[in-house]
Every structure is written in structure tokens, then in C-alpha cells.
């Protein structure tokens, strides 16, 4: 499998214009002069790809799509591609350096997977195209306008985030299923002996999603992050064990829940509940006695 470390080698491979900068690259697709079929590849930088009326030869029965796709370091384009030379679009490529130095400008979806695309409306395509024209203007100008270029990059990134929220809201059945599967997987996690606390990556892998994509869906529909949902569930399980399993001490409960260190469990519980596990047990005991 080929791994491309820089814009120049990748652009040469797919047949797009040679980049003018090593940290940001902006351009338009010209399919008749591009590579239309490829084996799986990977890139060591970030790509946001806007493709309009894209038709994949591997899915001939499907209508052409207009969508945003992402590549990030070490993410493999699993199936490669085999497309018709009829689509149009534009692309934005960002180095790891520019992401690291300006992380506050960028969003979690830059690490979304290929199968987690954003499908655009005609109005959204028009908005992004207008910003791209301005972005390309400053990209092709002198280096002194790099700050303006970066600002337009941020506008594109912010528009994509807004459009994702629209997509989450307009197709709730699809995403509610993800939320339900996440919640069910969380319940099932403690149906078996555990050696560690559950984490977002575990559930993302189980559902076949990237951690950022899962996290953004959960946040959108529950108003809480995936990690907050996990912590709430762990506290719920802890309360059940403290209340129903009087014979278990705090250390045993900590290990039962997947905490490596019992002291951390006590601190975690107190931070979430306002009482230590022992104080919570005493409170429950008093409540029972006063009934």
C-alpha cells in the first residue's frame, strides 16, 4: 500500500495541480486528467475533499452523490476508488504542522472516516464554492496573505461543521440508531468481567465508526459528550453495587467496574456524586432506617 508523506507526491499521483505551499494546498478537481482508479492508499496529512455528482463504478445502481470526504494521517482508503470522470469539486489539504499550530481553528471531523461523509445540498455547495474562490485567491497570492488564507480555511471548516449538524438533524432515524447501539453496548459492557473502564474508542470500534464521529453524534443527540455518558453509566453501576452488594467493599467494587486503582474510583465517585463511596453507603443505610 502506498503512503504519501507530502502534497507534491500525492497530487502527482492523482493528477492534480502541484502545490504552492507545504502546509496548505487548495485546488479544483479536473477528472478527465486525473487518476480515476486506485488501490488502497494512505496520506500523512489532512484532506477535505468536496466532490459534486460523484459516481462510483463499484456501485453502478446508485445515483451520483455530492459529499465531503476526509483523509487523515494513517487512515487507509480501504477500498481505493474507481469513479466516473464526470464529477467536479475542490479539495483542501492541511499539513500536520498547520493543524498542530492552529488546533483551536479545527474540528474533530477532520479525523472522520471515509464512510462518515457529509452529503451536501445545492445551497451548501454554493456557499462552500464561494468561500473556495476567495480562499484560492489568497492561496495564489504572496505568502504575506497566509493569515487571510488561514481565516478562509477556518470558514470552510466551520461551514462543514454547521452542515454536519444539519445532516444529523434531518436524518434522525439513522443517527438515533447509533445512539441506541452505543447505549446498548454500554449496558452489555458490564455483562462480562472487565479489566478496564470503558472508553469512547472501544465503543467506536464496536460500532465500526471513528471515535470523533461517534462522539459528535452522541453530543448532538444527548447534549452530553460520549465520555460524559460513559461516566454517568459507570456512576449508575457504582451506585447499584454500593446499594445492593453490601458484602462487597469499595476496593472490590472498584475492580468490578474496571478501575485499576481503588483510590481513583473513590475520587471519581466523589467528584461525580459529591460523596465518597463510604459516605454514599452510609446515606443509603440511614434512608432505609428512616423508612
Inform me whether the pLDDT recorded for 78 exceeds 60.
no
First to last CA, the chain: 68
Q: Note the pTM of the prediction, 2 decimals.
A: 0.77
Cα–Cα–Cα angle for 194, 196, 201, nearest 5°? 110
Q: Which CATH architecture has domain 2-170?
A: Sandwich (2.60)
- Helices 226-244, 250-257: crossing angle, 10 deg rounding: 140
pLDDT at position 57 is: 82
Average pLDDT over the chain reads 89
Report pLDDT for 63.
86
pLDDT for residue 114: 62
3-state secondary structure the chain: CEEECCHHHHHHHHCCCCCCCCCEEEEECCHHHCCCEECCEEECCEEEEEEEEECECCCCCCCCEEEEEEECCCCECCCCEEECCCCEEEEEEECHHHHHHCHHHCCHHHHCCCCCCEECCHHHHHHHHHHHHHHHHHHCCCHHHHHHHHHHHHHHHHHHHHHHHHHHHHCHHHHHHHHHHHHHHHHHHCCCCCCCCCCHHHHHHHHCCCHHHHHHHHHHHHCCCHHHHHHHHHHHHHHHHHHHCCCCCHHHHHHHHCCCCHHHHHHHHHHHHCCCHHHHHHHHHHHHHCC
pLDDT at 37: 92
Res 94: pLDDT = 93
Among 103-117, 132-146, 159-173, which is the least confidently predicted range? Answer: 103-117
Any idea where the domains of the chain sit in the sequence?
A: 2-170, 192-289
Average pLDDT over residues 83-90: 93
Q: What is the bridge-based pairing of β-strands 2-4 and 41-43?
A: parallel
The CATH number of 192-289 is: 1.10.10.60
Confidence category of residue 73, pLDDT binned at 50, 70, 90: confident
pLDDT for 129: 96
Q: Which of 112-126, 175-189, 233-247 has the lowest mean pLDDT?
A: 112-126
For residue 14, the Cα-to-chain-centroid distance in whole angstroms is: 26
Q: Is the pLDDT of residue 108 over 90?
A: no
CB contact at 8 A, 109 and 216: yes
* Distance in angstroms (rounded) separating the CA atoms of residues 273 and 109: 32
Buried b (16+ CB within 10 A) or exposed e, 105-135: bbbebbbbbbebbbebeeebbebbeeebeeb
Q: Which residues lie closer than 8 Å to 162 by C-beta, 6 or more apart?
A: none
When mean pLDDT is compared across 8-12, 13-17, 186-190, 287-291, the lowest value belongs to 287-291
Whether 280 has a pLDDT exceeding 80, the answer reads: yes
pLDDT of residue 240: 94
Residues 155 and 131 sit within 8 Å (Cβ to Cβ)? yes
- pLDDT over threshold 90, residue 1: no
Domains 2-170 and 192-289 share a fold: no
> What CA–CA distance (Å, rounded) separates 189 from 186?
5
Q: What is the pLDDT of residue 173?
A: 84
Confidence band (pLDDT; 50, 70, 90) for 35? very high
User: What pLDDT, on the 0 to 100 scale, is given for residue 109?
Assistant: 62
Q: Tens digits of per-residue pLDDT, 172-204? A: 888 899 999 999 999 999 998 898 999 999 999
Average pLDDT in the 96-122 region?
79
Q: Which cell is 104 given? A: 483551536
How large is the C-alpha radius of gyration of the chain?
24
Amino acid at each position: 500500500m502506498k503512503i504519501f508523506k507530502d502534497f507534491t507526491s500525492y497530487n502527482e499521483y492523482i493528477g492534480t495541480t502541484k502545490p504552492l505551499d507545504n502546509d496548505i494546498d487548495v485546488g479544483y478537481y479536473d477528472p478527465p486528467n486525473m487518476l480515476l482508479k486506485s488501490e488502497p492508499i494512505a496520506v500523512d496529512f489532512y484532506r477535505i475533499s468536496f466532490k459534486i455528482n460523484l459516481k462510483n463504478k463499484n456501485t453502478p445502481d446508485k445515483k451520483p452523490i455530492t459529499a465531503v470526504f476526509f483523509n487523515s494521517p494513517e487512515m487507509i482508503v480501504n477500498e481505493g476508488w474507481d469513479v466516473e470522470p464526470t464529477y467536479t469539486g475542490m479539495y483542501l489539504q492541511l499539513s500536520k504542522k498547520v493543524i498542530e499550530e492552529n488546533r483551536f481553528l479545527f474540528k474533530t471531523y477532520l479525523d472522520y472516516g471515509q464512510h462518515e461523509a457529509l452529503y451536501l445540498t445545492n445551497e451548501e455547495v454554493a456557499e462552500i464554492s464561494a468561500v473556495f474562490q476567495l480562499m484560492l485567491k489568497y492561496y495564489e497570492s504572496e505568502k504575506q496573505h497566509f493569515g487571510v488564507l488561514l481565516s478562509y480555511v477556518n470558514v470552510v471548516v466551520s461551514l462543514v461543521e454547521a452542515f454536519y449538524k444539519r445532516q444529523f438533524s434531518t436524518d434522525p432515524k439513522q443517527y438515533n440508531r447509533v445512539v441506541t447501539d452505543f447505549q446498548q453496548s454500554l449496558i452489555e459492557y458490564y455483562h462480562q468481567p472487565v479489566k478496564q473502564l470503558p472508553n469512547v474508542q472501544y465503543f467506536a470500534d464496536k460500532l465500526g465508526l471513528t471515535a470523533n464521529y461517534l462522539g459528535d453524534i452522541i453530543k448532538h443527540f444527548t447534549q452530553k459528550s460520549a465520555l460524559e455518558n460513559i461516566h454517568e453509566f459507570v456512576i449508575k453501576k457504582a451506585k447499584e453495587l454500593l446499594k445492593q452488594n453490601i458484602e462487597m467493599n469499595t476496593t472490590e467494587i472498584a475492580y468490578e467496574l474496571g478501575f485499576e486503582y481503588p483510590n481513583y474510583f473513590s475520587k471519581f465517585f466523589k467528584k461525580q456524586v459529591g460523596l465518597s463511596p463510604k459516605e454514599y453507603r452510609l446515606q443509603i443505610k440511614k434512608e432505609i432506617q428512616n423508612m
